[in-house]
């Protein structure tokens, strides 16, 4: 089973993006039984003063292979920092393919753009 962490940096300020609420959801396989095609929240948390969030999977569980979505509440963050934003939410969909690996998903945000990549 795999573990997951994330790190959010505000590129417009050159600082960590502290206090961003983040949800982790399991995304069902579209080929599965329609009755089983509901998304399932498997973790939640808020980035710390360094913009990091780790060990936020509910119950400290490991993640089995599958497709997942990280949802970052950027609207709340930019409102708190008194800035408008074009993207009220950043959603990153990724796939865990290998058990027993750590996955790190960094996100770079600014009021009018974002990017992400698979980190280490």
Domain layout of the chain by residue ranges: 3-116
Residue 9 contacts by C-beta under 8 Å, 6 or more apart in sequence?
15, 16, 17, 51, 106, 107, 108, 109
pTM: 0.89
Sorting pLDDT into bands at 50, 70 and 90, what band is 28? confident
Q: Tell me the three state secondary structure of residue 77.
A: helix
Average pLDDT over residues 8-21: 97
Sorting pLDDT into bands at 50, 70 and 90, what band is 1? low
- CATH fold of 3-116: Immunoglobulin-like (2.60.40)
Judged against a pLDDT cut of 80, whether residue 97 lies above it is answered with yes
Would you state the pLDDT for residue 11?
97
């Amino acid at each position: 089973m795999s573990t997951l962490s994330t790190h959010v940096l505000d590129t417009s300020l050159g600082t960590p993006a502290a206090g961003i609420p983040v949800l982790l959801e399991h995304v069902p396989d579209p080929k599965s039984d329609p009755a089983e095609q509901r998304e399932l929240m498997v973790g939640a948390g808020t980035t710390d003063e360094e913009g990091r969030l780790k060990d936020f999977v509910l119950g400290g569980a490991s993640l089995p292979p599958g497709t997942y979505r990280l949802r970052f509440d950027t609207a709340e963050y930019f409102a708190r920092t008194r800035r408008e934003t074009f993207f009220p939410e950043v959603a990153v969909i990724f796939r865990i393919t290998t058990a027993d690996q750590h996955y790190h998903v960094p996100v770079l945000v600014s009021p009018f753009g974002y990017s992400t990549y698979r980190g280490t």
